[in-house]
Amino acid sequence: PAIIRREDYRAPDWLVPEIALDFRLDPAATRVTARLTVRRNGVHTHPLRLDGDEIAPLSVSVDGEELHDAWRMDGPALVIDLAGDDHLIETEVQLSPETNSKLMGLYASGGLLCTQCEAEGFRRITFFPDRPDVLSRYTVRMEADQAAFPVLLSNGDHVDGGELAGGRHYALWRDPFLKPCYLFALVAGDLAANRDSFTTMSGRNIDLGIWVRSADLPRTEHAMDALKASMAWDERTYGREYDLAVFNIVAVDDFNFGAMENKGLNIFNSRYILADPETATDGDYDAIAGVVAHEYFHNWSGNRVTCRDWFQLSLKEGFTVFRDQQFSADQGSAAVKRIEDVRALRAAQFPEDAGPLAHPIRPESYIEITNFYTATIYNKGAEIIRMLKLILGEEAFRAGTDLYFERHDGQAATCEDFVTAMEDASGADLTHFRRWYAQAGTPRVKASLIAEPTGGRARLTLSQTVPPTPGQDTKQPMPIPLRVALLGAQSGKPLGPERLIVLDEAESEVLFDGLSEAPVLSINRGFSAPICLETDRSAADLAFLSAHDPDPFARYEAMQQLMLDTLLAGVRTGTVESESVVKAVRNTLTDPGLDAAFVGEAVLLPSEAFIAEQLDEIDPDAIAEVRESLRRTLGTELADLWQEIYARNRANRYEYTPSAKGSRRLRSVALGYIAVSGDEDWASLALTQYRDADNMTDTIGALGVLTNNAAPEREQALADFYERYRADPLVIDKWFTTQALASHGDTVGTVEALATHPDFTIANPNRLRSLVGAFAVNQRAFHDPSGRGYRFVADMVLAVDKLNPQAAARLIPSLGRWRKFEPKRQALMQAELRRILDAPGLSKDVFEQVSKSLG
């Protein structure tokens, strides 16, 4: 397959200022007529080239005359030679939405017809220059059977509609804003709306609608609250007001991603809309608010200012993730939100940056752009915006975003445009900062503090290296902003104000003067830079910071580092020296100044995957054993405390408040420790929680603990859960996931059996992810020494690739990390990757991921 390169970018030959689309909708045979007003862009003689994908023209006409031979197909593209500079092109195609299993373009889901066009799905609907720098004004006419599809939605404003003969009806929608075709959307179906309204800061009234099956209406309140809160937040925080008179959201069950920011008509995976306490966890509630906010914020960072080409994807995604993270931090505990975001970055992005699929946030080339909707583009991209804000300061950052929005409104922009706007607004020189856009790999920073024992002076030595990544052997130093404070070793108080040190060289030294006592180093506070940090701080220093650092993230981080050092020493030596960890965890559990949500995060051990990341050669069994041993010790040594915390955090009635959420979280964590503490009643405690729960957080918390440990109650609870929720697909996804993540029993065998369960299907991305995606991150079971786990996932990749290449490609990275494992597993993983690569008819999605993984 062809490699697309950033350096080959050329402005479009032809622009399309206007497009009128006419859909005669039918699940089996939909007719699409497109009328494009095309204009030559600059002086050239190139023909008009319209992208297509699995479509064929039924007719082509130019300026009202049907052409019979003046057009040709070049592969999937339609090519027309045109003499003048302005023409009207009309094409007609026929689509079959009900057999479109790729879920790109126009497809059927649960009786609805809906579209997904980002990144290159519009070419599956009609012939068009499918690139984000071609901006058009859209008019869309939809016609369908009224009984089957009573609701007809598209972008912009509803301008006309009515009944037609033969039980059919139509709707006409016009979007006044110029947009790239990836933001086009339509939905037709039997939907009901939760309607509300929002008054903007300039006093305009916006009609809001969340469209779902009517039975699901009661489960849309939380999403609606989140939408209104997002609209108000974007006005307050970035001065951005919504622009159309209508904002609609539709929930669909079959969706390749989380959601899509189509102009005025967001389409969501139903898991990011539907929630009530009985079926959705606190985590689901948070994710719904985060995704609703994310898609809403795209209206400015993505839609009003879009991307010039797909190499600029992080321009909209990194910035928008940063915005949704800020929003969520403002809604609840900022400290806990930061901990969660860093945990997600370390779980998904750090391994990506250290593996065969590493790429900079602005990649240089791709085969299939869908493979680049990654944690690097999204989450590392957000960290880079966060660093910009930290370096420039709050006010200059806001001046920069104002300038960026003003300068590029209605345009397709680049990452360079964003950085230039930041420079112009702040006067800062960001020449070196641009390296964050160009270089892949997580920088490693070493920090060492040498201090006079009684205070006075201290010297902080810093050095950095950026590891080689595919195609980038040598790197330049990155500008790394480090929030640094020194705490008094006796008093625990800060010795002077926090400093922002930007490490811009390979090595650097910083001097501290006038220290009234011996200092302890607190560095990269708030996770100010996305780096791996190595310090020579002792276990005692880390325990001290975990008890005293006023920065909650640094406090959490010190505990994590202490636990990690203990676990890594355990993997190396076979003995776990648990004393300092037990003491530090006890301190945290008994500190009256800490809230439950923070404590719940702070006392969790680093994940097996994160421990594995630190090692040159991974043996998953050794890691699991050492981790389990420390967990057991924490369970037994602190048994009374866990019991007391478990009892204290019991609620009488469900409430969705930050403090109730924190209590539920800590209680679940305590239950997990009780289960490994040797307490003989743990299973009945878990089963009682499972039975008495009035919310899904407590239900699934108890089910998870039962599933992860040996008890007869395990099977009973799993069977009960299935019977209780068998009619609710989003909850049954949790049933599959809980079993796929199990750390006890024959998980490989269970997962193989579940793949033949009548409720399992590879056609639905949520269900596929709930079983196979979850299993592929279960460190112990997936890496079963027999290789059965690898074979199972590879078989799934091959089966899914025939239906939905995007979904298949997402399963590759777990196998792609083979180089990090001990030799036997390496060989088994490589063999499965080769088996996939040798399969006939592989999609370019899977081909790209597998061939790069084999390197």
**Interface with Zn ion in residues 306-325 (CB under 5 A):** 317, 320
119 or 485: CB nearest Zn ion: 119
Which among 737, 802, 9 has a CA at the least distance from the CA of 412? 9
Which among 526, 498, 523 has a CA at the least distance from the CA of 508? 523
Number of residues this chain uses to bind ligand HT7 (CB under 6 A): 15
Residue 118 interacts, among ligand HT7, Zn ion, none and using kind-specific CB cut-offs from 5 to 8 Å, with ligand HT7
Which among 127, 116, 140 has a CA at the least distance from the CA of 262? 116
Contacting residues for 670 by C-beta, under 8 A, at least 6 apart: 642, 643, 645, 646, 649
302 or 662: CB nearest ligand HT7: 302
Report whether 382 contacts 25 (CB < 8 A): no
Residue from 82, 250, 260, 674 that binds ligand HT7 (CB under 6 A)?
Answer: 260
* 257 interacts with ligand HT7 by CB under 6 A: yes
**Interface with ligand HT7 in residues 311-340 (CB under 6 A):** 317
Judged by DSSP in three states, 578 sits in coil
Cα–Cα dist 658/264, whole Å: 31
* 294 interacts with ligand HT7 by CB under 6 A: yes
Report whether 244 contacts 304 (CB < 8 A): no
317 or 341: CB nearest Zn ion: 317
Report whether 60 contacts 90 (CB < 8 A): yes
DSSP string, 34-58: EEEEEEE-SS--PPEEEB-SS---S
Residue 315 interacts, among Zn ion, ligand HT7, none and using kind-specific CB cut-offs from 5 to 8 Å, with none
Residue 115 interacts, among ligand HT7, Zn ion, none and using kind-specific CB cut-offs from 5 to 8 Å, with none
Residue 341 interacts, among ligand HT7, Zn ion, none and using kind-specific CB cut-offs from 5 to 8 Å, with none
* 284 interacts with ligand HT7 by CB under 6 A: no
* 521 interacts with ligand HT7 by CB under 6 A: no
Report whether 363 contacts 626 (CB < 8 A): no
* 353 interacts with ligand HT7 by CB under 6 A: no
> Which run of H or E residues covers position 852?
helix 844-854
Contacting residues for 823 by C-beta, under 8 A, at least 6 apart: none
Closest-by-Cβ residue to ligand HT7 is: 257
* 373 interacts with ligand HT7 by CB under 6 A: yes
* 116 interacts with ligand HT7 by CB under 6 A: yes
Task: Pick the stretch among 259-267, 435-443, 608-616, 778-786 that binds ligand HT7 (CB under 6 A).
Answer: 259-267
Residue 695 interacts, among Zn ion, ligand HT7, none and using kind-specific CB cut-offs from 5 to 8 Å, with none
Q: Exposed, middle or buried by CB within 10 Å (0-12, 13-18, 19+), for 472?
A: middle
Q: How far is the CB of 322 from ligand HT7 (least distance, A)?
A: 13
Q: How far is the CB of 258 from ligand HT7 (least distance, A)?
A: 6
Residue 546 interacts, among ligand HT7, Zn ion, none and using kind-specific CB cut-offs from 5 to 8 Å, with none
Active site residue 295: yes
Which structure tokens are listed for 586?
């006890």
Cα–Cα dist 656/168, whole Å: 44
Residue from 119, 458, 683, 842 that binds ligand HT7 (CB under 6 A)?
Answer: 119
Q: How far is the CB of 316 from ligand HT7 (least distance, A)?
A: 7
Report whether 191 contacts 174 (CB < 8 A): no
Which among 761, 772, 838, 771 has a CA at the least distance from the CA of 803? 761
26 or 254: CB nearest ligand HT7: 254
Q: How far is the CB of 257 from ligand HT7 (least distance, A)?
A: 3
**Interface with ligand HT7 in residues 197-256 (CB under 6 A):** 256
Q: Which of 90, 120, 295, 383 is catalytic?
A: 295
175 or 317: CB nearest Zn ion: 317
* 295 interacts with ligand HT7 by CB under 6 A: yes
261 or 784: CB nearest ligand HT7: 261
30 or 301: CB nearest ligand HT7: 301
Residue from 118, 517, 784, 845 that binds ligand HT7 (CB under 6 A)?
Answer: 118
Which alpha helices (DSSP H) does 173-257 contain, by range? 221-238
Write out the E strands in 224-285. Answer: 246-252, 259-260, 265-269
Judged by DSSP in three states, 679 sits in coil
Report whether 365 contacts 307 (CB < 8 A): no
Q: How far is the CB of 381 from Zn ion (least distance, A)?
A: 10
Q: How far is the CB of 51 from ligand HT7 (least distance, A)?
A: 16
Which structure tokens are listed for 142?
């939809």
Residue 404 interacts, among ligand HT7, Zn ion, none and using kind-specific CB cut-offs from 5 to 8 Å, with none
Task: Pick the stretch among 114-122, 139-147, 215-223, 447-455 that binds ligand HT7 (CB under 6 A).
Answer: 114-122
273 or 539: CB nearest Zn ion: 273
Which structure tokens are listed for 166?
């033969």
Which among 129, 161, 144 has a CA at the least distance from the CA of 49? 129
Q: How far is the CB of 302 from ligand HT7 (least distance, A)?
A: 7
Query: Sign of dihedral through CA atoms 643, 644, 649, 653?
Result: positive
Residue from 312, 370, 426, 677 that binds ligand HT7 (CB under 6 A)?
Answer: 370
270 or 663: CB nearest ligand HT7: 270
Which among 173, 207, 214, 172 has a CA at the least distance from the CA of 193? 214
Q: How far is the CB of 261 from ligand HT7 (least distance, A)?
A: 5
Residue 373 interacts, among Zn ion, ligand HT7, none and using kind-specific CB cut-offs from 5 to 8 Å, with ligand HT7
Residue 801 interacts, among ligand HT7, Zn ion, none and using kind-specific CB cut-offs from 5 to 8 Å, with none
107 or 257: CB nearest Zn ion: 257
Q: How far is the CB of 849 from ligand HT7 (least distance, A)?
A: 14
Cα–Cα dist 106/173, whole Å: 17
In DSSP terms, which residues pair with 158 in a beta bridge?
Answer: 173
319 or 792: CB nearest Zn ion: 319
Judged by DSSP in three states, 462 sits in strand
Pairing of strands 136-145, 14-24: parallel
* 553 interacts with ligand HT7 by CB under 6 A: no
Residue for token digits 């180089």? 819
DSSP 769: I
C-alpha distances out from residue 639 to 630, 636, 650, 668, Å:
14, 5, 17, 14
Active site (catalytic) residues = 295
* Residue ranges in contact with Zn ion by CB under 5 A: 317, 320
Q: Which residues here bind ligand HT7, judged by CB under 6 A?
A: 116, 118-119, 256-257, 259-261, 294-295, 298, 317, 370, 373, 806
